[in-house]
């Protein structure tokens, strides 16, 4: 039987030998860790598993999503309770968005150096610096559009020399756009009314009685709107 190639890593100062090709999450579980926080979808769409690490003979602190980053020989891993960023406190209903709103809540956006580090590290390949430029101009709608697929992992904030918190600026813009700027959707109002009237309760009850395989088949056979 062919021996599986393995690499040496360190997790919170403890050395482990794990199969090559594992992601950070898989390597931690292989090493006996039970993951109860900092892990969600495992597919790069929830942003919960931001990790910090160093590589052998490299003093730079690196970061990435643990569900996507593959372990390397000599990698040293640490877990942080949260990644950097101070979040502004606000009531979306009470805000009237204008060209200065984003700067009022996040004045640090004016310190942007244009280094583009935020864009380069984004696991979603978003044009982060571009939407931050739009934020500086006060273009709430543009920020909401360009940041729509942001997963709030905050990896961009770990690389920002101006201490900006790009994801928090983005979520404020999306909330403002959705509440105050986007045209109202008649379909949404109709669906909310149907839910309040209990239109779907019988169907939900039937689904709860089905097996996983039956639900899978229902999902595959669902009506899909054309792209």
pLDDT above 70 for 44: yes
pLDDT above 60 for 1: no
At 88 the pLDDT is 94
User: Are the CB atoms for 176 and 140 separated by under 8 Å?
Assistant: yes
User: Distances in Å between the alpha carbon of 211 and those of 147, 171, 205, 221, 223?
Assistant: 37, 37, 13, 16, 20
pLDDT per position as a tens digit, 100-129: 999 999 999 999 999 999 999 998 999 999
pLDDT above 60 for 16: yes
Averaged pLDDT score across all residues of the chain: 91
At 83 the pLDDT is 74
> Which residues 6+ apart lie within 8 Å of 196 measured at CB?
none
The helix or strand, by DSSP H or E, that contains position 103, with its residue range, turns out to be: helix 101-105
Q: What domains appear along the chain, each with residue ranges and CATH number?
A: 6-78 (3.10.20.30), 92-181 (no CATH), 186-220 (no CATH)
User: Are the CB atoms for 136 and 109 separated by under 8 Å?
Assistant: yes
Tell me the pTM: 0.73
In eight-state DSSP terms, residue 86 is: P
pLDDT per position as a tens digit, 120-158: 999 899 999 999 999 999 999 999 999 999 999 899 998
User: Are the CB atoms for 163 and 108 separated by under 8 Å?
Assistant: yes
CA distance linking residue 150 with residue 126, whole number of Å: 7
At 38 the pLDDT is 79
CA distance linking residue 99 with residue 97, whole number of Å: 7
At 225 the pLDDT is 72
């Amino acid at each position: 039987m062919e021996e599986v190639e393995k690499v040496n890593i360190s997790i919170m100062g403890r050395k482990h030998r794990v199969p090559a090709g594992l992601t950070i999450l898989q390597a931690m579980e292989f090493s006996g860790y039970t993951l109860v926080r900092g892990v969600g979808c495992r597919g790069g769409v929830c942003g919960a598993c931001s990790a910090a690490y160093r590589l052998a003979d490299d003093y730079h602190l690196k970061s990435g999503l643990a569900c996507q980053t593959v372990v390397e020989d000599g990698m040293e891993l640490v877990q942080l309770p949260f990644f950097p960023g101070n979040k502004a406190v606000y009531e979306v209903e009470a805000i009237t968005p204008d060209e200065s709103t984003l700067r009022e809540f996040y004045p640090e956006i004016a310190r942007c150096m244009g280094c583009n580090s935020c864009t380069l590290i984004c696991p979603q390949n978003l044009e982060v610096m571009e939407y931050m430029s739009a934020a500086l101009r006060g273009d709430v709608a543009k920020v909401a559009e360009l940041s729509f697929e942001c997963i709030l992992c905050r990896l961009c904030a770990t690389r920002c020399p101006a201490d900006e918190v790009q994801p928090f600026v983005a979520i404020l813009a999306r909330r403002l756009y959705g509440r105050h700027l986007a045209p109202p959707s008649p379909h949404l109002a109709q669906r909310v009314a149907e839910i309040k009237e209990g239109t779907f309760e019988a169907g939900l009850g039937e689904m709860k009685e089905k097996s996983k395989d039956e639900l899978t088949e229902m999902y595959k056979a669902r009506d899909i709107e054309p792209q």
